[in-house]
Every structure is written in structure tokens, then in C-alpha cells.
């Protein structure tokens, strides 16, 4: 039973006490080993609690390495405040040793998905109480009840995740439902949760030979990013900090712990105080990757957080200036069409996110137009004809150039000068980068779906416009990935070219499954793929099957796909 300390009359509302943050703690039977331990911590003094946490931390160090130390330091800090925090800290520690997901440990996953249902805040199919308990607070300085519609017609928060979606997940975490509670524990223990801004990897714009000094930046700083991160001046720092800011923004909302809000703001304010632009061959995709996560974090912080006395505020104007000067010009003018699809799709997601955040209707419409042009040339349907549609720009026109583009120039015919027609064999549902590697497929699909999700929150149904194409592409990708461990790639896959990698990936299946199955009530279907062995999928749905198979593994945290169990697993609208 959960004690919500509910002071209002709405059973679907997160409990709010306007004066004091409240703690939600799942009760544990008093006669259980964990119950006995919890009672001990609740009644023990500070010294007793420290000793107990150190013992568990030592055990964790033995089993899972350095994360044990991270938990020890975090838990001691928490438990010095009051016994209730000590209890929850102990549960976090114990959960890591049994059912939690940290560094790929197994999880009480609750991994059975319910299909075809409408949006509901109730317990989803297969959801069970997790042994990992997270302290969930709703402090008076957190907005959980008001979405804002701007004069430009945009709903806020409304970049990738809506207020309703955040609230649905927050309630599940507070109720210790699985897998949300376990994944939150994983997020709290991640490197992203404690990361601070790293600004010194950039170079000064007025002297590119000097490292950026945030205390004396001169005219400001820039990243310099080449292909394959050579050179790498601030590149991985920027993308890493962007994902960290987003992780911390989510943790602020789900836990109510202001320390996460302050950490996210420190990153956002730090970068916006010095970043003035991007240099290098990879600049156009570098800034897109960074903006995708930066803006999601900024949107959550801007519309859900008010700092308490003495705490730092999010510098909205400074962040807006950074977006307009260091991101929008390249996103609006760069010729992405000739590149692999993941580049332009990341740019589209970034542009759409910035458009919503800055209430720029013209920029939003431009991103919509780009999405509508790129998606039909990124995923092939047999109804397109004998070959995929050609992307704009003319760089990949004709059967030779188009075939080599889709085969990632790996066919022998594509390695000669001039190239000759590889006579590519296209399969229904194939992605433009399938023959390159599945990691880039995941990047392209992730950005494509993220943009569609933002558009959906803003009332534009891109999912519906390309429903058959997107669902077929995801089924195709899931079926290939599921078959590979036992059967490898099908005979003739990608024209039999060499150099294909195993389909390791971080695909955004949660976002798509929520959009189509939970929200729209349609299911992914098994498609026919030449040479692929027959297999039974859960409810005949390969996407559902791969989600269930991946449940309990370490959560995907990448450039554009991060913590999607916590944002989109069965949250509906």
C-alpha cells in the first residue's frame, strides 16, 4: 500500500502539499529481511546508519565496482537528513544487489506489454511492484498541474515529452511500479545524474590555439569537431553535457529533488554563457545532436521549476541567445540532403525542438516540411516502386548513385571510378542506412520519431501521415535484429556485401510503441523478409517482442535516445 499524503480530491493527480514536500514510500512487510533492516535504519542514530550503508556499499563494490562508491557517498548524504531518506537510500542500495538495473544487472522488469489500449494512468499490463523504491516528492516550487499555451499556439512543456506524460511516469515511480522505479534507480546512479558542465574542452573564438576559460572567455568559445571526432575540441563534452542536463531535468521532475534542478541549470547556464558557434567538418551534425537534448532539458526546467530562495535561476534569455546565434543559422541553411539520413533527421529534430521552445512558428513549419520530405526517402516501401525515392539535391540520382548510397558504398561496383550500377536489391521496410550499420539506423529513426512526438504534442500527426512507412520500417529492423543472434543476416541481405556489423543498437522502440499501440490502438505486424527464418513473435508483433526481450537491460542513453522507459513507456498522451 502506498501512502500518498493526498490533500486534494483528484485521484489522478500527483499529491501536492503547497507548504511542505512530501515523501512517497512503498511499505514493506515488517517481518521481511528488508523490513527489519528498514526499521533498524529508521530507529538507529546517524552512526548506525553510516555503518549500515558502508557495509552495503562494500558489498556493492565487490559485485558491481565503482558504482558502489557512488551509492555510498550519495546515500550517506541523503540519510543524514532524516530516517525516511535513510530508508529509501537503503532500498536503492539493496535493490541494486537484487532487482535493480545498474550496469546491466538483471531486473524485476514487469516486461509484458499491454497492446491496443488507450491512454491510462492505471497500472499497465504486467506492471508489478518493484523492490527498488525511489523517494518521490512534489515540492511547492514544482509545476505539475499547468500546461501553458503560448501566443504562438505552442503547448509547454512540449518538446518530446508533455506535462501529462511526465505526471503519468511520476505516479508510477512513486508507486514503485516496475520497470519505472528500477530505471529511475539506474538513472540516479548514472554518470549523467552527477555530471557538471565541462567547458574547457572548447577553444576561444578569438584565439583557436587557446582553451576556453569560462571565467575569461574573451569573445566566447566554439567547438571544433571533425569527422570521427578528429579534432575533438569540446565535441563530446557538449553532447555529453546536453544528455546530462536532460537526465537531471527528468530526475528533478520525478523525484522533486532540487539538487537535480540546480545541476541541470548549471549545465544550461554554463554552456549558454560561453558557446558562440561550432567549427569543423562535423559541425552541422554536432550542433544538431547537442540541441536535441539541450532543448528538452531547457523546456522542462523553464516550465516546471521555480528556484527556492538563494538558488540559481535558469537564464532563459541567455539560453535563447545561444540558440539563435550558435544553432539556428546552421540548422536553417546547411545542405543536409546529400548526407546520410541520420544527419538531416537530427537537424530536423533539433530545429523543431528549438522552434517550440522559442515559439517560432515559421521555424516549426520549416521543420515539418523537412520531415515530410526526408522520411519517405529514408524508409523504403515496395509501393515506392522498384527502387527508393531519391533524396532532394540530386547527389544520389539514378540507379548507380542511389544503389551505392543505400549500400553505403560497400559493393564492389561502388568502389571503382567511375562507379557502376550495383543493382541493389531493396527490401520492404529497409532503412537507407541499414547496410551501413544499425547504430546509425537507430540514430536516424530516433530523431525521426522524436520530432514526430514533439509535433504530436503540438497537434500535428506526423505519425499518422507516414504510419505504414514507419511501422513497416520498425518491424523490418526489429525482425532482422531478433534473428541475427541465431541465424545471422538473411542470404542476400544488402546484396551480400562484406563488412556488415552485428545489429547492436539503441533503437527508439518505446516512443513508437507508445505512439501507435498505446495511443492509436494499432499493432506492429510481422512482415515478409526474403531469407529470414520464420519465428513466433509476442502477439505477432516483432516490436513488442524486442521491447520485452530488452527489458531489464541497461537503459539506452545516447545522443538522441535517452531514458525512454521513463518518458514514453505506455504513457499515451
pLDDT band at 51 (very low <50, low <70, confident <90, very high): low
Cell 512517497 sits on residue: 24
Section 435-458 average pLDDT: 96
Query: Looking at residue 504, what is its pLDDT?
Result: 73
Please check whether residues 514 and 429 belong to one and the same domain: yes
- If asked whether residues 294 and 400 sit together in one domain, one would say no
Name the average pLDDT for the chain.
81
Q: Taking 50 as the threshold, does the pLDDT of residue 21 lie above it?
A: no
> Over the stretch 323-349, which tens digit does the pLDDT of each residue have?
999 999 999 999 998 899 999 999 999
**428 found inside a domain:** yes
Residues 379 and 258 in one domain: no
Reduce the DSSP state of residue 343 to 3 states and report it. helix
In 3-state terms, the chain is what percent helix, strand and coil (to 5)?
50, 5, 40
Task: Indicate whether 175 belongs to any domain.
Answer: no
Do 381 and 505 belong to one domain?
yes
Name the grid cell of 303.
516550465
Stated as kind and residue range, the H or E segment containing 148 is strand 148-149
One domain for residues 284 and 388: no
Q: Is the pLDDT of residue 413 over 80?
A: yes
Q: According to the model, what pLDDT value does residue 56 have? A: 55
Tell me what pLDDT residue 43 has.
Answer: 45
Residues 391 and 510 in one domain: yes
**Coil vs helix vs strand at 540:** helix
Q: Does one domain contain both 285 and 395?
A: no
Please tell me whether residues 316 and 382 are part of one structural domain: no
Gyration radius of the chain over CA positions: 24
30 falls in which pLDDT band (50, 70, 90)?
Answer: very low
Domain-located, residue 317:
yes
317 and 409 assigned to the same domain? no
Q: Is residue 104 part of a domain?
A: no
pLDDT in tens, 232-269: 999 999 999 999 999 999 999 999 999 999 999 999 99
Q: Give the model's pLDDT for residue 109.
A: 32
If one counts the domains in the chain, the total is: 2
Nearest CA to 291 out of 322, 251, 270 is that of 322
pLDDT confidence of residue 558: 87
Q: Does 463 map to a domain?
A: yes
Are 383 and 529 contained in the same domain? yes
- For position 132, what pLDDT does the model report? 64
Classify residue 78: in a domain, yes or no.
no
In a domain, 439, yes or no: yes
What single string gives the DSSP state of each residue in 249-262? HHHHHHH--HHHHH
**Full domain range(s) for residue 214:** 193-326
What integer pLDDT is reported at residue 503 of this predicted model?
Answer: 83
Q: Which one has a higher pLDDT value, 397 or 1? A: 397
Question: Could you give the percent of the chain with pLDDT greater than 70?
Answer: 76
Q: Supply the pLDDT for residue 550.
A: 80
Whether residue 207 sits in one domain with residue 322: yes
Residues 426 and 521 in one domain: yes
13 has pLDDT over 70: no
**Which residues, including other chains, have CB under 8 Å from residue 135's CB and lie 6 or more apart?**
23, 24, 25, 78, 84, 85, 88, 255, 257
- Among 326, 358, 380, the domain boundary falls at 326
Q: pTM score, two decimals? A: 0.78
Write down which residue in 326, 354, 388 finishes a domain.
Answer: 326
Of 308, 326, 344, the residue at which a domain comes to its end is 326
Is residue 108 one of the residues assigned to a domain?
no
CB-count burial class (<10 Å; 0-12, 13-18, 19+) for 2: middle
Amino acid at each position: 500500500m502506498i501512502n500518498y499524503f493526498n490533500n486534494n480530491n483528484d485521484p489522478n493527480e500527483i499529491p501536492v502539499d503547497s507548504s511542505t514536500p512530501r515523501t512517497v514510500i512503498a511499505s514493506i512487510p515488517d517481518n521481511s529481511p528488508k523490513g527489519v533492516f528498514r526499521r533498524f535504519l529508521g530507529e538507529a542514530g546517524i552512526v548506525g546508519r553510516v555503518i549500515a550503508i558502508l557495509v552495503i556499499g562494500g558489498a556493492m563494490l565487490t559485485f558491481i565496482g565503482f558504482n558502489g562508491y557512488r551509492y555510498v557517498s550519495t546515500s550517506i548524504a541523503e540519510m543524514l537528513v532524516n530516517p525516511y531518506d535513510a530508508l529509501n537510500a537503503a532500498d536503492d542500495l539493496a535493490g541494486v544487489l537484487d532487482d535493480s538495473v545498474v550496469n546491466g544487472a538483471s531486473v524485476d522488469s514487469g516486461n509484458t506489454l499491454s497492446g491496443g489500449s488507450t491512454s491510462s494512468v492505471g497500472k499497465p499490463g504486467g506492471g508489478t511492484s518493484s523492490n527498488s523504491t525511489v523517494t518521490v516528492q512534489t515540492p511547492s516550487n514544482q509545476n505539475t498541474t499547468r500546461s501553458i499555451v503560448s501566443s504562438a499556439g505552442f503547448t509547454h512543456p512540449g518538446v518530446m515529452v508533455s506535462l501529462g506524460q511526465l505526471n503519468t511516469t511520476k505516479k508510477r515511480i512513486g508507486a514503485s511500479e516496475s520497470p519505472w522505479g528500477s530505471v529511475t534507480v539506474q538513472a540516479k546512479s548514472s554518470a549523467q545524474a552527477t555530471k557538471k558542465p565541462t567547458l574547457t574542452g572548447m577553444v576561444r573564438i578569438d584565439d583557436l590555439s587557446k582553451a576556453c576559460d569560462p571565467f575569461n572567455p574573451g569573445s566566447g568559445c566554439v567547438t571544433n569537431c571533425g569527422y570521427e571526432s578528429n579534432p575533438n575540441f569540446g565535441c563530446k563534452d557538449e553532447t555529453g553535457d546536453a544528455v546530462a542536463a536532460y537526465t537531471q531535468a527528468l530526475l528533478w521532475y520525478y523525484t522533486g529533488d532540487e539538487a537535480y534542478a540546480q545541476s541541470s541549470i548549471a549545465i544550461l547556464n554554463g554552456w549558454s554563457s560561453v558557446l558562440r558557434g561550432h567549427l569543423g567538418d562535423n559541425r552541422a551534425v554536432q550542433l544538431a545532436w547537442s540541441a536535441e537534448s539541450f532543448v528538452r532539458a531547457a523546456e522542462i526546467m523553464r516550465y516546471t521549476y521555480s528556484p527556492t530562495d538563494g538558488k540559481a535561476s535558469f537564464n532563459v534569455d541567455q539560453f535563447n541567445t545561444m540558440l539563435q546565434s550558435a544553432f539556428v543559422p546552421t540548422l536553417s541553411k546547411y545542405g543536409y540532403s546529400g548526407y546520410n539520413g541520420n544527419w538531416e533527421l537530427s537537424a530536423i529534430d533539433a530545429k523543431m525542438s528549438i522552434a517550440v521552445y522559442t515559439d517560432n512558428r515559421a521555424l516549426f513549419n520549416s521543420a515539418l516540411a523537412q520531415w515530410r520530405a526526408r522520411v519517405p526517402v529514408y524508409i523504403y516501401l515496395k509501393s515506392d516502386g522498384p527502387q527508393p525515392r531519391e533524396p532532394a539535391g540530386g547527389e544520389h540520382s539514378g540507379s548507380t548513385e542511389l544503389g551505392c548510397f543505400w549500400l553505403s558504398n560497400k559493393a564492389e561496383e561502388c568502389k571503382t571510378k567511375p562507379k557502376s550500377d550495383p543493382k541493389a536489391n531493396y527490401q520492404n521496410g529497409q532503412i537507407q542506412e541499414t547496410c551501413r550499420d544499425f547504430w546509425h539506423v537507430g540514430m536516424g529513426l530516433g530523431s525521426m520519431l522524436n520530432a514526430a512526438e514533439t509535433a504530436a504534442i503540438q497537434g500535428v500527426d506526423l505519425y499518422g501521415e507516414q504510419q505504414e512507412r514507419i511501422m513497416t520500417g520498425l518491424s523490418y529492423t526489429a525482425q532482422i535484429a531478433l534473428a541475427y543472434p541465431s541465424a545471422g543476416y538473411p542470404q542476400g541481405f544488402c546484396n551480400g556485401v562484406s563488412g556488415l556489423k552485428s545489429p547492436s543498437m539503441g533503437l527508439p522502440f518505446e516512443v513508437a510503441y507508445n505512439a501507435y499501440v498505446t495511443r492509436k490502438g494499432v499493432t506492429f505486424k510481422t512482415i515478409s523478409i526474403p531469407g529470414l527464418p520464420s519465428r513466433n513473435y509476442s502477439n505477432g508483433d516483432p516490436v513488442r517482442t524486442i521491447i520485452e526481450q530488452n527489458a531489464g537491460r541497461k537503459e539506452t542513453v545516447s545522443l538522441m535516445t535517452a531514458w525512454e522507459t521513463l518518458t514514453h513507456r505506455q504513457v499515451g498522451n
